[in-house]
C-alpha cells in the first residue's frame, strides 16, 4: 500500500494527514527544546571546569546570562509546540465533528450501535491524546540517542552504560505494554457497557419507578459496575506496579551512572563537571522513555478509538452531495417494497406495490403486527433494512438530499419524540423559526390556546423528551411539528391515540385542509372514527396488502368478510351445541 492510499482510506486519516505541517512544526520546536535541554549540562561544565578554576566573575556573568537566554528560548519553544497541538486538536475536532455525527447518525438509524455517543467520545479521546503530555513523549524519545552521544563525548564507558540502561528501560516499557494492554482494553469495554446500560435505563425512568423495577435494575447495574471496577482496579494495579518498577530502575540507573562517573574522576579520566553533566544527561535520556510508560494507557485508548472510528467511516462513509431538486409535488409510489429486520425469518413487509396521488388521504389499517408502522418508516426513508422502492415524483427516495427532502415531509411516529427546548423550537424543527408558521401549525392541531396559557407561551421549556407536557399535549406538538412549513407529504402514525374529542375534530379539520391544498396524507390508525376523512384505505395483514381502494368499497368488503366470519362462527357454535344436546 502506498503512503497516499493509506492516508486516503478514510476521513479520519485524511484529516490527520492534513495537519502534517502542524506536526512538523511541533517536531521543529521539540528539536529546539530538546537541544536546549543540554543547557544545564553545558552550564555545569563551564562552572566546574572554567569559572571555578579561572575564578572569573565576568565569565560567570556571561555564562549565566546565556543560560537564562537559552532557558527562555526553550520555554517559548515548549509553549509554541503545546499551542500548536491544542490548535491542531481543535481544528481536527471542528473538521471531523460533523462527519462523525453523520456517520454515528447513520449507524444508529440502521440500529447497528448500542451507544449513540461512542463515536463523539472516540473523537474526544483522540483529540485529548494529541493535545496532552503523552504525545510529547513520542516527539522527545528520538532525542534520547543524542543525549547518549553527548555522554559518549564525555567518556565512552559512561556512554555504553547509558545505552545499556536505555535498553533496559525500553524492555521495561515493552513489558508494561504486553502486561497491561489486554487489561486496559477489558476495563475500558466493561466501563463503556456499564455506562451505556445505566443511561438506557434512565431514559425509561417512569415505568421503572411506577412498577417498582428500580431494585432489580439497580442490582443488574451494580453487577456490571462491580465488574467494571474490578477490571479497572486490576488494570491500574498492574500499570502502577510497572510504573513503580520503571521508577526504581530509572533512579537506580541514574545513581549508578553517578557512581561510574565518580570512578572515572578517581582514576583521573573525567572532571567533576563531566561527572555531574553525565548524570544529568542520563536523567534526560531516560525521562522520555519513562513518560512513554505513563502515556501508554492514553495511547492504547486513543489507538482503539482511532480504529473504531476507522471502522465507523468504513461502514458508513460520508455520502457524496446529492443534486438539489424542486419540492416534491406529493406523488408517492411503492414498488415491490420489502422490509426485513435482523433476527427475523420472515420479512415484515412482503413486496408491496401501490400508488398514491398528490392531494389524497390514505388510511393504513390492519391488526397489530401487520407492518403498519414499518410501512410508515419506509415511506419517510427511516427503515434501514428495506429493498424495492419508495418513489417521490417517480424518483427513489434515496436519490434525494435527506435534509432537503425532510423539510417537505411531515412525520409523526407512533412513539412521539420531542426534544429539550422550547415549544416553538420543537414545532419549527429547531430551524430558524417563522413565528407565523409556528402559530399556523399550532392552530391546525388545536393547541394554540393551550400554549398561550403556559407561563412563557411558545418560549416555554418542555423539558427532556417533553416531560413537562401531558400525553395529549406532546401528541399535538408532534402533529404541529409534522405540519410545520406545509410539507408535501405527511405520514401520521396513530395521530389520534392520545387525543380527546376536540383534538380529533381539530385533526380531522387539519387533514381536510391539507387535502384541499394538494398535500398527500397517510394516516396509520386503529381507531376507525377518523376514517371518514380518508379517500382510500390500504389494509395490511401479515405484511401484505389485503385490500386497497376507495374508502367505502374497502369498508364494504371488510364488513362482508367480518359478517361471513361471524356467521361461520355462529354456525359452528350452533352445531357444537346440538352435538352436546344429542350426547346428553
CA distance 129 to 137: 11
353 plus 449 within the same structural domain: yes
Q: Which of 18-22, 60-64, 302-306, 394-398 has the lowest mean pLDDT?
A: 18-22
pLDDT tier for residue 489 given thresholds of 50, 70 and 90: very high
pLDDT at 205 over 70: no
CA distance 218 to 517: 53
In order of 80, 198, 220, 229, 234, the CA distances from 226 in angstroms are 43, 13, 10, 5, 12
Weakest mean pLDDT among 292-301, 304-313, 441-450: 292-301
Beta strand 332-339 with 349-356: parallel, antiparallel or unpaired? Answer: antiparallel
- What confidence score (pLDDT) does residue 115 get? 59
185 plus 271 within the same structural domain: yes
Asked if 188 and 301 touch (Cβ cutoff 8 Å), the reply is yes
Non-local CB neighbours of 519 within 8 Å, separated by 6+ positions: 330, 358, 359, 486, 487, 488, 489, 490
Residue 82 reports pLDDT greater than 50: yes
**Percentage with pLDDT > 90 across the chain:** 14
C-alpha R_g of the chain: 36
Residue 4 lies in a domain: no
- Average pLDDT estimate for 367-387: 88
Domain assignment present for 270? yes
258 part of a folded domain: yes
Between CA 71 and CA 146 the distance in angstroms is 19
Domain membership of residue 366 (yes or no) is yes
Is 504:445 a contact under the CB 8 Å cutoff?
A: no
Query: How far from 322 is each of 61, 203, 389, 405, CA to CA, in Å?
Result: 70, 35, 18, 11
CA distance to 9, 124, 406, per residue, from 100 (Å): 15, 11, 21
% of the chain at pLDDT higher than 70: 86
- Quick one: CA dihedral 235, 240, 246, 248, positive or negative? negative
pLDDT in tens, 521-552: 999 988 777 888 899 999 999 899 999 999 88
Instruction: Average the pLDDT over 447-451 and give the result.
Output: 90
Handedness of CA 118, 119, 124, 126 (dihedral sign): positive
Q: Quick count: other Cβ atoms within 10 Å of Cβ 512?
A: 14
d(CA 48, CA 89): 44
Please determine, for residue 75, whether its predicted confidence score (pLDDT) is greater than 50: yes
Got the DSSP string for 370-415? Answer: SSHHHHHHHHTT--SSEEEEEEETTEEGGGS-HHHHHTTEEEE-SS
In this prediction, residues 344-354 reach a mean pLDDT of: 88
User: Would you state the pLDDT for residue 289?
Assistant: 73
User: Are 433 and 544 in a shared domain?
Assistant: yes
* Structural domain count of the chain: 3
Pair 123, 232 in one domain: no
- Residues 307 and 210 grouped into a single domain: no
Asked whether residue 430 falls in the same domain as residue 544, the answer is: yes
pLDDT of residue 394: 87
Give me the pLDDT at residue 545, please: 92
Average pLDDT of the segment spanning 279-298: 75
Least confident of 131-135, 213-217, 249-253: 213-217
Q: What is the CATH number for 213?
A: 1.20.1560.10
What grid cell was written down for 298? 492514553
Least confident of 166-175, 207-216, 273-282: 207-216
Same domain, 367 and 451: yes
Sign, CA dihedral 437-443-447-453, equals positive
Is 16 contained in some domain? yes
Distances (CA, A) of 292 to 286, 295, 423: 10, 5, 52
pLDDT at site 89: 78
pLDDT at position 203: 61
Whether 202 and 304 share a structural domain: no
124 in the same domain as 16? yes
Are 30 and 67 a contacting pair, CB within 8 Å? no
Q: Are residues 71 and 154 in the same domain?
A: no
Cβ proximity of 284 and 147 under 8 Å: yes
CA distance 412 to 380: 10
Residue 549 located in a structural domain? yes
Residues 6+ apart with CB under 8 A from 215: none
pLDDT of residue 567: 67
Residue closest to 247 by CA, chosen among 291, 203, 182: 291
Highest mean pLDDT pick, 182-186, 336-340, 413-417, 576-580: 336-340
In which band, very low, low, confident or very high, does the pLDDT at 583 lie, cut at 50, 70 and 90? very low
284 in any annotated domain = yes
Query: 343 with 313, same domain?
Result: no
Do 265 and 367 lie in one domain? The reply is no
Strand residue runs (E) in 196-246: none
- The CATH number given to whatever domain includes residue 348 is 3.40.50.300
Q: Does a structural domain hold residue 374?
A: yes
Q: Domain range spanning residue 448?
A: 332-554
Residue holding cell 518498577? 245
Amino acid at each position: 500500500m502506498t503512503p497516499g492510499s493509506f492516508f486516503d482510506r478514510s476521513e479520519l486519516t485524511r484529516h490527520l494527514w492534513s495537519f502534517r505541517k502542524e506536526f512538523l512544526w511541533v517536531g521543529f520546536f521539540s528539536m529546539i527544546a530538546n537541544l536546549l535541554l543540554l543547557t544545564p549540562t553545558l552550564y555545569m561544565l563551564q562552572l566546574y571546569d572554567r569559572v571555578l578554576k579561572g575564578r572569573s566573575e565576568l565569565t560567570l556573568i556571561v555564562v549565566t546570562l546565556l543560560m537564562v537566554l537559552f532557558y527562555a528560548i526553550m520555554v517559548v519553544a515548549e509553549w509554541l509546540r503545546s499551542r500548536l497541538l491544542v490548535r491542531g486538536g481543535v481544528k481536527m475536532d471542528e473538521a471531523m465533528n460533523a462527519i462523525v455525527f453523520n456517520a454515528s447518525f447513520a449507524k444508529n438509524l440502521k440500529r447497528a450501535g448500542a451507544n449513540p455517543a461512542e463515536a463523539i467520545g472516540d473523537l474526544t479521546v483522540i483529540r485529548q491524546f494529541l493535545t496532552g503530555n503523552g504525545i510529547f513523549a513520542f516527539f522527545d524519545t528520538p532525542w534520547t540517542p543524542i543525549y547518549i552521544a553527548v555522554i559518549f563525548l564525555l567518556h565512552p564507558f559512561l556512554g555504553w552504560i547509558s545505552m545499556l540502561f536505555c535498553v533496559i528501560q525500553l524492555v521495561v516499557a515493552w513489558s508494561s505494554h504486553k502486561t497491561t494492554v489486554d487489561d486496559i482494553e477489558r476495563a475500558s469495554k466493561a466501563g463503556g457497557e456499564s455506562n451505556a446500560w445505566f443511561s438506557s435505563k434512565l431514559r425509561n425512568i417512569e415505568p421503572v419507578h411506577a412498577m417498582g423495577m428500580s431494585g432489580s435494575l439497580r442490582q443488574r447495574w451494580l453487577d456490571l459496575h462491580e465488574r467494571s471496577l474490578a477490571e479497572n482496579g486490576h488494570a491500574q494495579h498492574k500499570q502502577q506496579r510497572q510504573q513503580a518498577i520503571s521508577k526504581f530502575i530509572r533512579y537506580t540507573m541514574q545513581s549508578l551512572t553517578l557512581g561510574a562517573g565518580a570512578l572515572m574522576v578517581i582514576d583521573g579520566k573525567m572532571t567533576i563537571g563531566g561527572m555531574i553533566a553525565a548524570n544529568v544527561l542520563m536523567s534526560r535520556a531516560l525521562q522520555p522513555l519513562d513518560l512513554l510508560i505513563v502515556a501508554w494507557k492514553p495511547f492504547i485508548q486513543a489507538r482503539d478509538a482511532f480504529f473504531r472510528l476507522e471502522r465507523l467511516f468504513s461502514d458508513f462513509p460520508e455520502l457524496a452531495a446529492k443534486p438539489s431538486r424542486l419540492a416534491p409535488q406529493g406523488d408517492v409510489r411503492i414498488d415491490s417494497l420489502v422490509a426485513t429486520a435482523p433476527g427475523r425469518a420472515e420479512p415484515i413487509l412482503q413486496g408491496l406495490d401501490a400508488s398514491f396521488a398528490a392531494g389524497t388521504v390514505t388510511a393504513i389499517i390492519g391488526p397489530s403486527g401487520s407492518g403498519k408502522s414499518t410501512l410508515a418508516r419506509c415511506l419517510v426513508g427511516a427503515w434501514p433494512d428495506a429493498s424495492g422502492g419508495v418513489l417521490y415524483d417517480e424518483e427513489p427516495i434515496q436519490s434525494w438530499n435527506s435534509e432537503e427532502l425532510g423539510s417537505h415531509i411531515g412525520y409523526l411516529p407512533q412513539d412521539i419524540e420531542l426534544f429539550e427546548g422550547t415549544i416553538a423550537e420543537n414545532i419549527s424543527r429547531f430551524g430558524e423559526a417563522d413565528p407565523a408558521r409556528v402559530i399556523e401549525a399550532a392552530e391546525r392541531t388545536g393547541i394554540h390556546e393551550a400554549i398561550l396559557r403556559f407561563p412563557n407561551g411558545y418560549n416555554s421549556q418542555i423539558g427532556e423528551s417533553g416531560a413537562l407536557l401531558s400525553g395529549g399535549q406532546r401528541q399535538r406538538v408532534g402533529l404541529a411539528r409534522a405540519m410545520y412549513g406545509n410539507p408535501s407529504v405527511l405520514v401520521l402514525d396513530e395521530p389520534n391515540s392520545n387525543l380527546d374529542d376536540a383534538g380529533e375534530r381539530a385533526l380531522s379539520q387539519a387533514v381536510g385542509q391539507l387535502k384541499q391544498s394538494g398535500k398527500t396524507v397517510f394516516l396509520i390508525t386503529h381507531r376507525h372514527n377518523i376514517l371518514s376523512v380518508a379517500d382510500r384505505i390500504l389494509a395490511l395483514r401479515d405484511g401484505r396488502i389485503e385490500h386497497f381502494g376507495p374508502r367505502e368499497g374497502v369498508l364494504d368488503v371488510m364488513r362482508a368478510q367480518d359478517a361471513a366470519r361471524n356467521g361461520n362462527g355462529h354456525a359452528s357454535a350452533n352445531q357444537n351445541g346440538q352435538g352436546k344436546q344429542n350426547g346428553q
